[in-house]
Amino acid sequence: MYWEKELEILDRKSLERLQVERLNRTLLQAVNAPGYRRIPKIAALARSGISSIEQLRELPFTTKSDLRDNFPWGFLAADKRDVVRLHSSSGTTGNPTVVYHNRHDLASWAKLMARSMFAAGVRDSDVFQNICGYGLFTGGLGFQYGAEKLGCLSIPAGAGNSLRQIKLMRDFGTSVAHAIPSYLGRLFEVFKDEGLDPRRDTQLRTLIIGAEPHTEEHRQRIEEMFGVKAYNSFGLTEMNGPGVAFECTEQNGLHIWEDAFAVEIIDPESLQPVADGEIGELVMTTLDRQAMPVIRYRTRDLTRFLPGDCQCGRSHRRIDRISGRSDDMFIVKGCNVFPMQVEGILMKLPEVGDDYRIILDTIADQDEMIVEVEVKREWFTGDLAFLDRLQRHITRLIRDEVLVRPVVSLVEPGSIPKAEGKAIRVFDRRKN
């Protein structure tokens, strides 16, 4: 079953024709923005038009720095009077990245969200609880409008306040919930503290998780805790927010909606396309946005195209789960390390809780990687010999994976500071 069947099962040739048509329209709209109008190649292709989606490669990339450097209006391609909403990043390290929407853009986004949720098995008979921040963060309103478009009874619960989340679930029979992965471990602990089991004491049947990279091991742990299927969602503010790519019920990759986005995967060093199946950096172009089209945006997210067709029948290509970010990699003692490598190890260990953080520090004039790991309450006992064995075991596993010997610190559950919104996993305190 499909939400928009005529688009979801469009054959490749027809889909590519639609992409070319929408890309030509996008280029004509983009040159209304000062940030794009001053780029000769974009202006030239907007005038001449393109005949193939591959011609995208002739255009320059857009980066987060470009958006920040042209803050606040440099990439707005519509009259301000037609803009009805903006979303932005936090801007804690400088100007935020701001994205503008007109009514067409919001309607298009709502359809993409409804299509995505339907693909994951959500129906108009569901009670949908959105455990996500509203406001400038796109996850709250993105899912809210999608759920309403789909026809669900929606509960805009917002982030945090776990006791209230549980009460809402039980009082109103929540069957589908959306939350970031790092919060769900905390929510499960509160269920246990209250003597409740979400598998027995709620009607929950589906979780949708996203907004922060997470490993397959973390997803499996969430499914085991809540006794439901957890579907991956991918999005980014610059491309709307959630609803860019979504797992269907086959759970074999995320369908990326190619009628709304042109997608490339490139080598982040050479900037050339990688072969299908190879990991690279995701580059995206909007195809159905008017207020602020974005061309060849370097997301910094690392993924790959998955080969073959999906059994669900949708023709839109699938990408693998995000395996990390090209700008998340850090170098310690000459070795390249991605935080997801550490998470993949920790989430396999039954004694380990859901929170950890990596601290890079300079100790005795030498860089060190300190990994703080929360241990589950039932394992964090006074048995110092057991904790010592666990600490040495984790140290060995991480060393074998990243080729750097970490300093592993086991801490009690709930002791690692929680960030609002996405979890912050790496803190670099090294001396320059």
Q: What local confidence, expressed as pLDDT, does residue 338 receive?
A: 82
CATH code of residue 400: 3.30.300.30
Among 47-51, 286-290, 330-334, 368-372, the range scoring the smallest mean pLDDT is: 330-334
Q: Is the model's pLDDT at 431 over the cut of 80?
A: no
Domain boundary among 296, 326, 356: 326
Domain boundary among 326, 357, 391: 326
342 plus 228 within the same structural domain? no
Average pLDDT, the chain: 93
Q: Is the model's pLDDT at 92 over the cut of 90?
A: no
Q: What local confidence, expressed as pLDDT, does residue 315 receive?
A: 97
Local confidence band at 420 (pLDDT 50, 70, 90 cut-offs): low
DSSP secondary structure, 221-232, as one string: HHHHHHTSEEEE
Taking the C-alpha atoms of residue 231 and residue 239, their distance in angstroms, rounded to an integer, is 20
334 plus 322 within the same structural domain? no
243 plus 370 within the same structural domain? no
Mean pLDDT of 189-210: 96
Torsions phi, psi for 191 (to 5 deg): -55, -50
Instruction: Tell me 120's DSSP state.
Output: T
Mean pLDDT of 228-247: 95
345 plus 370 within the same structural domain? yes
Q: Is the model's pLDDT at 354 over the cut of 90?
A: no
86 plus 195 within the same structural domain? yes
Q: Which residue has the tokens 């945090």?
A: 160
12 plus 31 within the same structural domain? yes
Beta bridge partners of 115: none
Domain boundary among 326, 359, 375: 326
Q: What local confidence, expressed as pLDDT, does residue 298 receive?
A: 96
Taking the C-alpha atoms of residue 77 and residue 28, their distance in angstroms, rounded to an integer, is 10
Local confidence band at 78 (pLDDT 50, 70, 90 cut-offs): very high
Q: Is the model's pLDDT at 41 over the cut of 80?
A: yes
Q: Is the model's pLDDT at 119 over the cut of 80?
A: yes
pLDDT in tens, 358-382: 999 988 777 889 999 999 988 887 7
Residue that wins the pLDDT comparison between 11 and 403: 11
Domain of 359, in residue numbers: 330-428
Kind of pairing, strands 324-325 and 297-303?
antiparallel
Q: Is the model's pLDDT at 91 over the cut of 60?
A: no
Q: What local confidence, expressed as pLDDT, does residue 432 receive?
A: 60
**Percent share of the chain, pLDDT over 70:** 98
pTM value surpassing 0.75: yes
Local confidence band at 419 (pLDDT 50, 70, 90 cut-offs): low
pLDDT in tens, 140-176: 999 999 999 999 999 999 988 999 999 999 999 999 9
Residue 80 CA: distances (Å) to CA of 27, 238, 239: 19, 18, 19
Taking the C-alpha atoms of residue 375 and residue 353, their distance in angstroms, rounded to an integer, is 5
